[in-house]
Structure 1
Amino acid sequence: MEGEIPSSLSNCSNLKFLNLHGNKLKGKVPTELGSLMKLKLLQLGINNLVGGIPPSLGNLSSLTKFGVADNNLVGNIPDAIGQLNGLVFFTISFNKLSSTIPSSLYNVSSLQIFSVSGNQLNGTLSANIGLNLPNLQNFYVGGNEFSRSIPTSLCNATQLQRIDLVKNKFLESVPTNLGNLLNLSWLDLSHNYLGKNLHFLTSLTNCSRLKNLVLALNQFDGVLPNSVSTLSNELIKLYFGNNEISGTIPGSLANLVNLIGLGLNENHFIGVIPTAFGKLIGTSSLPLVNINLSHNSFMGKLPFEAGNLKNINEMDISNNNLSSEIPTSIGNYVSQNNLSGPIPKGLEKLFFFEKLNLSFNNFEGEVPIKGVFKNISALSLIGNTKLCGGMQKLQLTKCPVNVMKPRKSIRFKHAIVIISIVQIFLLFSSFIVWMKKSRKKSPSMVSTMDLINFSYKELYQETNGFSRNNLIGSGSFGSVYKGFIHLEERTIAVKVLNLHKKGASKSFMVECNALRNIQHRNLVKILTCCSSMDYNGNQFKALVFEFMTNGSLDFWLHQGLDNENQSMNLILLQRLNVAIDVAFAIDYLHNHSVQPIIHCDLKPSVLLDNDTVAHYDMGDETSIEADTYSYRILLLEMFLGKRPTDDMFKDGLNVHNFAKTALPKELVQIVGPILLPREVDEAPIAIVATRDL
């Protein structure tokens, strides 16, 4: 149903139920509805209503249910709503309402459902809220701007089943009398500024019906108390991510065998992952689907048993210090004799995997090729430099071939002696060859990189929440933001991938795997690849680079012309040096990297550092010939001062033909005019003075 709510409804004086929920209604809520004195239910949710809540609705003395959620209402909550003494159900969530909750509303003692989530409400919650609203069952105030502390009186409303305070500005500690809420099943305190210790968890052990406990994105510190393992047997979701919790994980946490989601990511946990975690199997109707232990300092073995985790969808143990010592008992597919071997092939049989992130650990050996390991968009192995094999798309090195040991016969012993002599000879020869090559190796090339680990939380903070003020560029697969690492006093560039773009995940894998093993003076230095979850639970992938202080070549070639400070323009010598820098980078990518790399996006987006040295980021796959042609066009743009898209190039004329027709006698007439007045005479000197090759 479309259109507006007719004010003539006020003539229906005997109307008791008005339910217009889930339509396409627009316009304002008619003030005249306040005359329907017999109305018990007013449900206008999920429409396109605008304007404010009419104060006249406070006259509906018979009203028990009031719902206007999911509209575009603005203004404040009228104080007159507090006159509805029989109100049981009150929901105004997901509008644009502001100001504070009127004190009169806190006196409607009959309220059971109180939902104001997703607005712009502020101020503090009433200190007596639980005393004045003793019948509360569901209390939703998330997604607003409430501040100060959580009132301890809230725990006097002993019928409470669900509490949602997410995404506010609540401070200080959590009330320790939460254990009074024996019917509590849902508690979400995430995304606030709550801190101090986790001692309140002890009181929650009285809440035998608790199913969801979310404390992520706060400032909780200290260690995880053993009482966490004695929480409700009905607990299915436990999220402590993005806090400051330290120490080891109590092995008894595995007593919560019905968990379907466990998040301990981005804390300061140390030690080993308890072997008892293999007991976390979920329930018969809700199997374990998600485990996130990323961005901690776990080390040693990964003790999960795939047979118990057969329905798991996501596992993220990235950015830890885990080694390849995954127990090969995992899934009972491999014998107990290979505890220090590669990633167990048994993981191939976990067919419900949608995401497996093992990146930035110390795994080594051969990567399996079936199951999740053949879906590179669901798999992340970045930062494990000793892995080999796997699907070709992973671009890992080939694994060495293992030779089976023959029987120890006399012939075998003779063979060993001969092989040993040959190996010594080959080793010596290889050493001589290596010495010769090392003398010729360019000092600008290195084979490995030290990657710095960043979490989503850190990148979010260092870019001011990926603010538009920090946006410095965008491309086909995402946007680039300027960030600042305060502890290191270092500026970075963060390339955030748009994962809705087709091929973005593939581009991320290609760039990370390529950049992991190469480095060159004229390639932008990558600091890390970040694969994580954002604050809304969505996948987040980003590349973190050194920041180039002088911006792009495009600005210096074109935008600088409109700048009053003509020193912003590059002189001929500087342009020659930039052209040489780009040539060095392309030559390295095509001919000297471990695997030939095609850039495919050569244009004046080349970046310049503090010394005006040119750097390129990575491209995608196409052909060496295309790169070569693009480089020629780039040279023409640099010295002609004309973009290939200039308005003058039409009717078959392009920058290439334009330059060709002027060669050789009329070249001076087409060169960028900014180069001519002072540098025609300097050209021979500039050519001689170019960098020592």
Structure 2
Amino acid sequence: MAQLQRMDANLDTLSNELCQVNTYVGHIAQCQAEIGGYTVAFFPVASANESDGSGCADDAGVDDDATASTDADDGDARGEIPVSLVNCTKLRVMVLAWNKLIGKIPTELGFMTKLVSFLAQADTLTGGIPPSLRNLSLLIYFSVAYNNLEGNILKSIGHLKTLSFFGVGDNNLNGIIPSSFYNISSISVFSFTQNQLTGTLPANMGLTLPNLKLFELGNNKFFGSIPSSLCNASQRQKLDLGNNSFVGPIPTNLEYLLDFELLRLTSNNLGRDLDFLTTLRNCMKMEELGIDANKFEGVLPNSIGNLSTQLNVLYLGGNQIFGSIPETLQNLINLIILEMDENLFTGVMPTYFGKFQKLQGLFLSKNKLLGQIPSSIGNLTQLVVLDISQNNLEGSIPITIGNCRSLQQLIVSQNYLGGVIPQQVFSLFSLSLLLNLSYNSFSGKLPVELGSLKNINSLDVFENNLSDEIPATIENCLNLENLYLQGDSFEGIIPSSMAFLKGLECLDVSQNNLSGFIPKGLEKLLFFKYLNISFNDIEGSLLTVGVFKNVDAISIIGNNKLSGGEYGMGGEASTEGDVYSYGVLVLEMFTGRMPTNNMFKDGLNLHNFVKMALPKRLAQVVHPMLLPRGRNGSNNFNNDGNRRR
């Protein structure tokens, strides 16, 4: 899926939980004030550890009606939660969050029977949730998210009838959610994200949990269908079931959820029709909708335009949605992220995309879009990522791209774009992550303005029709790590200034018309791990230090004037070495992967990666651009690697 797409779902969940923490602590404080204006005394954990053994200040002027709170949320508390805190018999609220606490949650916690709230999220606690928690009959709020807790969630905890918030996300808990939890009618927030929990959801859970506002199960192992009764809890605000194995359709009675803000169903096996979208028309507070990486198919209905105008995030990628992008989509004027990649969309890129003034991420890759990139793209001045790769787009990059002054990634690879690369592309000083123009038909030269991209990390312009010299101003791209210029018609020398790119890791200039010598200084680059200069006219002696010591890290064949050791290893050149190096190059071209790809580890390398795929899974390893395309723009192979008939 596209790079920036989730705006970091884990961070989003963390922010949601922190917001809920603040809200509920505030509610607790308000309730206490209404009951009798209790005095609140603060006892940092550090003080408790250094006390005379009582671990509390019961005699420090706190009367019988007082509510005490341990407050160590300044991030400085260390060590274990002191067992001596059980002597604080009047303690109502315990806040231990955002510290460096270790060890287990004390079993003795169950003796603190007046405890209303226990907050220990974002520490490094281990062990399990203690069974003694069932004794806290007044407990309203329990949050231990972002720790290292493990084990099962005990059934007895589900009998706490006053519980309103239960947050255990981002731990290592396993097993099922006990059935007793689905009968806590007072519960408002259930957060179980990022664990190893499994099981199905009860068909009647929406009836037994009428006050449920936030339900988070994302990144677990749940399966089965989504119960339609979930929509009966009319107070529902957020539902996150993403990254599980749910199947079947999405319930079509969502119109009753008037306060619905977030629906995240990413990465399941849900589908197939999109009828449920029509039922979201009454959810006028919705800010995020994610159904990407599922099995939805069919035409995107015009009712997509009836979604809330407050919608910021729309994830539709990784499905089988086809047809044109509907005109009604332009109603969603507050979109920040629009992800429609890995579908079967046809037609042109809508010009109305230019109306999305707040858009930061636009992901349309791996579709069948035609026509030109609309000039209105230049209206997206807040755009951070634009990925329109692997389509059938043609024409040139509009010069209005220069208005996208926030752009960090520009990916237009594997299209039919041509002409000279506009100078405006190289005036985007914001480009810091990736500029990928590969597998197109761009012509002309790389301008000296290339050096203006001082923050660029990866530059891919390979497999085009570019010519002339590689500009020496490349030395100004001080953050450049990956430079891919292969398969063009560059001539002249490899600029010696490349030796100034201290962070350079990969350089591929193969299959050009370059001449001269290998620049001095490349061997001194500390992070340099891959060099391919094959099929040029490079001459001189091969260096024997640095990256040149590793035969798997360099490719030099096809340079008849280049002499030296057996590819930097100190031996004599041989026919066998040439054949080996040539074979590696062929595999690179065949798969589009280099030997240094991060996927090659634990015994897996480029050679056996291809070998394991032969003969029946050819299409799974060959580069998509090498597969013959049918009339509809798709390749002519089935998933099993056999040609379609």
Q: Which TM-score applies when normalising by structure 2?
A: 0.62
In the alignment, structure 1 segments of 5+ residues that lack a partner are: 282-286, 325-341, 401-501, 519-540, 544-584, 607-615, 642-693
1:347 aligns with 2:319: no
C-alpha distance in 2 between matches for 1:27 and 1:107 = 31
SS at structure 2 position matched to 1:28: coil
Percent pairwise identity: 41
Amino acid at match of 1:322: L
Query: What SS does structure 1 have at the residue aligned with 2:103?
Result: strand
Residue 106 (1) aligns with residue 187 (2): no
The alignment partner of 2:379 has SS state of coil
| 1:134 counterpart residue number | 210
Query: What SS class does the counterpart of residue 259 from structure 2 fall into?
Result: coil
Question: Measured at CA, do residues 634 and 270 of structure 1 come closer, stay the same or move farther in structure 2, by a change above 3 Å?
Answer: farther
Which consecutive residues of structure 2, in runs of 5 or more, have no partner in the other structure? 1-76, 451-460, 469-476, 491-505, 509-531, 578-645
Match of 1:315 in 2: 386
1:207 shift after superposition = 0.8
Which of the residues 407, 413, 425 maps onto 1:359?
Answer: 413
- For residues 99-125 of structure 1, what are the alpha-carbon distances to aligned partners after superposition, in whole Å with 9 as ceiling and x for unaligned? 000111111110111101111000111
- CA change 1:601–1:399 in 2 (3 A) is closer
Contact 2:271 2:297 in 1 (8 A): yes
Aligned counterpart, 2:328: 252
Matched, 1:369 2:423: yes
Q: Secondary structure at the match of 1:171?
A: strand
| SS of alignment partner, residue 440 of structure 2 | coil
1:514 and 2:570 matched: no
The answer as to 2:345 corresponding to 1:269 is: yes
Name the residue aligned to 2:150: 74
Match in the other structure for 2:136: 60
Measured against aligned partners, the alpha-carbon deviations of 1:418-462 in whole angstroms (never above 9, x if no partner) come to xxxxxxxxxxxxxxxxxxxxxxxxxxxxxxxxxxxxxxxxxxxxx
Q: 1:369 to 1:83 in 2, by over 3 A?
A: same
Residue 388 of structure 1, aligned match among 434, 444, 460: 444
Paired with 1:54 and 1:221, the residues of 2 have a C-alpha distance of 46
1:40 is aligned to 2:116: yes
How many Å apart are 1:64 and its aligned residue? Answer: 0.4
Distance apart, 1:515 and its partner CA: 3.9
Query: Does the CA-based 8 Å contact 1:372-1:379 persist in structure 2?
Result: no
Task: Kindly state the Cα deviation for residue 637 of structure 1 after the two structures are TM-superposed.
Answer: 9.2
Residues of 2 paired with 1:321 and 1:383: CA distance?
12
**Cα shift readout 1:477-499 (whole Å, capped 9, x = no counterpart):** xxxxxxxxxxxxxxxxxxxxxxx
SS in 2 for 1:277: helix
Alignment of 1:169-180 (within 5 A): 169-180=245-256
Q: Shift of residue 167 of structure 1?
A: 0.7
Whether contact under 8 Å (1:369, 1:390) holds in the other structure is: no
Partner of 1:635: 571
Pair 1:356–1:627, CA change in 2 (3 A): farther
2:225 corresponding residue in structure 1: 149
CA contact (8 A) 2:417 2:440 kept: yes
Establish whether residue 305 from structure 1 lines up as the match of residue 382 from structure 2: no
Relative to 1, partners in 2 of residues 1:389 and 1:27: Cα closer, same or farther, differing over 3 Å?
A: same
Aligned-partner Cα distance in 2 for 1:133–1:637: 75
In 2, Cα distance between equivalents of 1:108 and 1:114: 11
Q: Hey, what does 2:103 align to over in structure 1?
A: 27
Q: Does 1:229 align with 2:305?
A: yes
Query: Which of 85, 99, 108 lines up with 2:161 in the alignment?
Result: 85
Larger Rg: 1
2:536 maps to 1:589: yes
Task: Compute the displacement of 1:255 (Å).
Answer: 1.5
| One-letter amino acid of the structure 2 residue matched with residue 384 of structure 1 | N
**Closer, same or farther in 2 for the Cα pair 1:390/1:21, shift >3 Å?**
same
Q: CA deviation at 1:386?
A: 3.5
Look up the SS of the partner of 1:305 in the other structure.
Answer: helix
The one-letter code of the counterpart of 1:192 is N
Partner AA of 1:356 in structure 2: L
The answer (yes or no) to whether the contact 1:65–1:89 under 8 Å persists in 2 is: yes
Using the size of structure 1 for normalisation, the TM-score is 0.58
User: Partner residue of 2:277?
Assistant: 201
Q: Indicate whether 1:190 and 2:266 are aligned.
A: yes
**Aligned residue among 207, 230, 235 for 1:159:** 235
State the distance in 2 between where 1:32 and 1:632 align.
66
Amino acid at match of 1:152: S
Residue 142 of structure 2 aligns to a residue in which SS? strand
2:198 to 118, 122, 127: 122
Report the CA distance shift for 1:8/1:35 in structure 2 as closer, same or farther (over 3 A).
same
Letter in 1 for 2:154: P
Describe the shift of the 1:618–1:245 C-alpha distance in structure 2 as closer, same or farther (beyond 3 A): farther
Distance 1:628 1:143, change over 3 A: same
Q: CA deviation at 1:81?
A: 0.8
Structure 1 counterpart of 2:319:
243
Cα pair 1:21 1:46 within 8 Å, conserved = yes
Residue 537 of structure 2: SS of its match in structure 1?
helix
> Considering only aligned residues, what root-mean-square deviation do their CA atoms show, in Å?
3.4
**1:189 and 1:216 in contact (8 A); partners too:** yes
1:154 match: secondary structure? helix
Is residue 9 of structure 1 aligned with residue 85 of structure 2? yes
After superposition, the C-alpha distances for 1:184-237 in whole angstroms (9 at most, x for unaligned) are 011110011112111110101121111111111111111111111111111111
CA shift in 2, pair 1:224/1:36, >3 Å: same
Q: What whole-Å deviation, never above 9, does each CA across 1:369-412 have from its counterpart, x for those lacking one? A: 24555658532110112433343565875689xxxxxxxxxxxx
Paired residues of 1:297 and 1:320 also in contact (CA < 8 A): yes
Post-superposition Cα deviations, 1:346-375, rounded to whole Å, max 9, x if no partner, equal 322322111111111111111122455565
Q: Is the contact between residue 373 and residue 390 of structure 1 (CA under 8 Å) also seen in structure 2?
A: no
- 2:138 and 2:379 mapped to 1: Cα distance? 55
Q: Quote the offset at 1:617 in angstroms.
A: 6.2
Which amino acid in 2 is paired with 1:310? Answer: T
Taking the aligned partners of 1:629 and 1:604, their CA distance within structure 2 comes to 12
Superimposed CA distance per residue, residues 479-529 of structure 1 (whole angstroms, 9 cap, x where no aligned partner): xxxxxxxxxxxxxxxxxxxxxxx999643x42xx314679xxxxxxxxxxx
